[in-house]
Amino acid sequence: MKSLSRYSKYRDSGVEWIGEIPEHWEIEKLKYISHIIMGQSPEQVYVNQKNKGIPFLQGNAEFSKINPKEKNWCTAPKKITLKNDILYSVRAPIGAINISHKSFCIGRGLCGLRNKTQMYNKYLFYSATLFKQELNKYSTGSTFEAISVINIKNLKTVLPPKQEQIKIANYLDQKTEQIDKAISQKKELIKLLKERKEILIKDAITQGVDKTVSMMESGIKWLGKVPKHWDIKKGKYLFKEIDERSKDGKEELLSVSHMTGVTPRSEKNVTMFMSEDYTGSKTCQKDDLVINIMWAWMGALGVSDREGIVSSSYGIYRQREPNTFNSSYLEYLLRTNDYIAEYNRRSTGLHVSRLRLYSDRFLDMKMAIPPIEEQNAIINFIKENNSKIDKAINLQEEQIERLKELKETLIDSCVTGKVKVP
């Protein structure tokens, strides 16, 4: 950015969000330089049936990818965009943008911009990326925010001479490709770091951190070898099922998920399935293992770090002998992929959405248990190494955000003439 020069003379554009522009550039309303096609949902949409007409698109989080996924089709499209039309999301997420690589039927969440002047199409695309902030001022709606066609038509954009449009667009193509490549490389590195983190946790939890110890067959086909000095026991010798009930329902309400384990419901943005009275709900104590019976096959379980109440359909298990398990070690252990796969095998039900892991089947599972001192050492090892990996991930995420900001700033500066491209 610092290497780019400025134009010799500027003038006020008369548009607050655009600011000054080169003296010889023009300002024009969008309706005068492009046909605006506001999407309209077709009467019938078919899912995963390519022989049913043409692809149907609706604005969503995936929309701004290079080629939107084609999942739906329609036979009687009402609004169609053509190849090279600019597709713009006018419902949340407002401002997602793409260039159509073929004909699409578009729904109410999208609009199409079709160049009707001698304006360079790719320059129009880069100009349109700047509309998002301005459009958000006009978005209205209770169920979802949306933009009207009037707001779209009256948007103002900058119009340099055609040859400058081409030069700016070509320059941005080159530079944004470089930035996108750097972002992609950093995302791949984050993926590898997260995979490394998962492998580190699994190896430490299931095999310990001392690689010099003798190993033995665990006798558990799906688990394989474990350190020779570890115990192997069925769950029924380690846990007892607890069914204690709340007398007044005033305890803290807890939730169990495969993503976060046991957490207070107040920390989740969830209002569905809320009850006015939790009297009679199951209660759990600190260090109790809580399993969502219906979603155990996904790993929906955790060790509670507090007292609270949970759904009466959850399973609650308490260690028979205190300090058999370090609570963090137990949660890591039971959320490893090997254990979750075993819950799948042991769950009963006609199909996935109906699978249930009942207490008799969970308590019949065998588990490998290190001495408590070794569990503590394993958890310290995981914390130390996770901290290093998390710092590396955070650094890459921060750099990705800076690259995204650089990309936005570069486009804005070039398209509005704040800098003169080489």
Report the pLDDT value the prediction gives residue 69, as an integer from 0 to 100. 65
* pLDDT band, residue 17 (cuts 50/70/90): confident
Residue 417 has pLDDT above 60, yes or no: yes
Residues 18 and 127 in one domain: yes
Q: What is the CATH number of the domain that holds 404?
A: 1.10.287.1120
Residue 98 has pLDDT above 70, yes or no: yes
**What is the spatial distance between Cα 262 and Cα 284, in angstroms, rounded to a whole number?**
11
Residues 238 and 345 in one domain: yes
The answer as to whether 4 is a domain residue is no
Q: How far is CA 27 from CA 122, 155, 324, 416, 421, in A?
A: 17, 10, 73, 10, 19
Q: Which domain holds residue 35?
A: 14-160
- Is residue 56 within 8 A of residue 45, CB to CB? The reply is yes
Residue 61 has pLDDT above 60, yes or no: no
Could you read off the pLDDT of 19-50 as tens digits, one per residue? 999 999 999 999 999 999 998 888 888 887 77
Provide the greatest CA pair distance for the chain.
83
Residues 45 and 120 in one domain: yes
What domain count does the chain have? 3
Which are the contacts of 186, defined by CB distance < 8 A and separation ≥ 6? 396, 399, 400, 403
DSSP assigned state of 85:
P
Report the pLDDT value the prediction gives residue 210, as an integer from 0 to 100. 93
Report the pLDDT value the prediction gives residue 49, as an integer from 0 to 100. 78
Residues 344 and 211 in one domain: no
Residues 357 and 375 in one domain: no
Mean model confidence pLDDT for the chain = 89
Q: Are strands 239-241 and 231-234 parallel, antiparallel or unpaired?
A: unpaired
Report the pLDDT value the prediction gives residue 94, as an integer from 0 to 100. 80
Residues 353 and 258 in one domain: yes
- Is residue 28 within 8 A of residue 124, CB to CB? The reply is no
Residues 42 and 166 in one domain: no
Could you read off the pLDDT of 377-395 as tens digits, one per residue? 999 999 999 999 999 999 9
The answer as to whether 3 is a domain residue is no
**What is the spatial distance between Cα 173 and Cα 185, in angstroms, rounded to a whole number?**
18
- Is residue 415 within 8 A of residue 126, CB to CB? The reply is yes
Closest CA to 309 of 330, 288, 331: 288
- Is residue 81 within 8 A of residue 87, CB to CB? The reply is yes
Could you read off the pLDDT of 185-217 as tens digits, one per residue? 999 999 999 999 999 999 999 999 999 999 999
* pLDDT band, residue 144 (cuts 50/70/90): low
Which amino acid belongs to residue 6?
A: R
- Its sign, for the CA torsion 371, 375, 376, 380, is positive
The answer as to whether 202 is a domain residue is yes
**What is the spatial distance between Cα 260 and Cα 179, in angstroms, rounded to a whole number?**
33
Q: What percent of the chain has pLDDT over 90?
A: 64
- Is residue 290 within 8 A of residue 310, CB to CB? The reply is yes
Judged by phi (left if over 0) then psi (alpha if -120 to 50, else beta), residue 219 lies in left
* pLDDT band, residue 332 (cuts 50/70/90): very high
- Is residue 316 within 8 A of residue 284, CB to CB? The reply is yes
**What is the spatial distance between Cα 173 and Cα 156, in angstroms, rounded to a whole number?**
23
Q: pTM, whole model, 2 decimals?
A: 0.80
Q: Among 160, 179, 194, which residue terminates a domain?
A: 160
The answer as to whether 29 is a domain residue is yes
- 222 compared with 58, residue with greater pLDDT: 222
Residues 201 and 317 in one domain: no
The answer as to whether 2 is a domain residue is no
Report the pLDDT value the prediction gives residue 60, as an integer from 0 to 100. 57
- 92 compared with 142, residue with greater pLDDT: 92
Report the pLDDT value the prediction gives residue 133, as an integer from 0 to 100. 76
Following CA atoms 41, 44, 48, 50 in sequence, which dihedral angle do they give, to the nearest 10 degrees? -100
Report the pLDDT value the prediction gives residue 369, as an integer from 0 to 100. 96
Q: Among 113, 130, 160, which residue terminates a domain?
A: 160
- 94 compared with 9, residue with greater pLDDT: 9
Could you read off the pLDDT of 234-244 as tens digits, one per residue? 999 999 999 99
Report the pLDDT value the prediction gives residue 273, as an integer from 0 to 100. 53
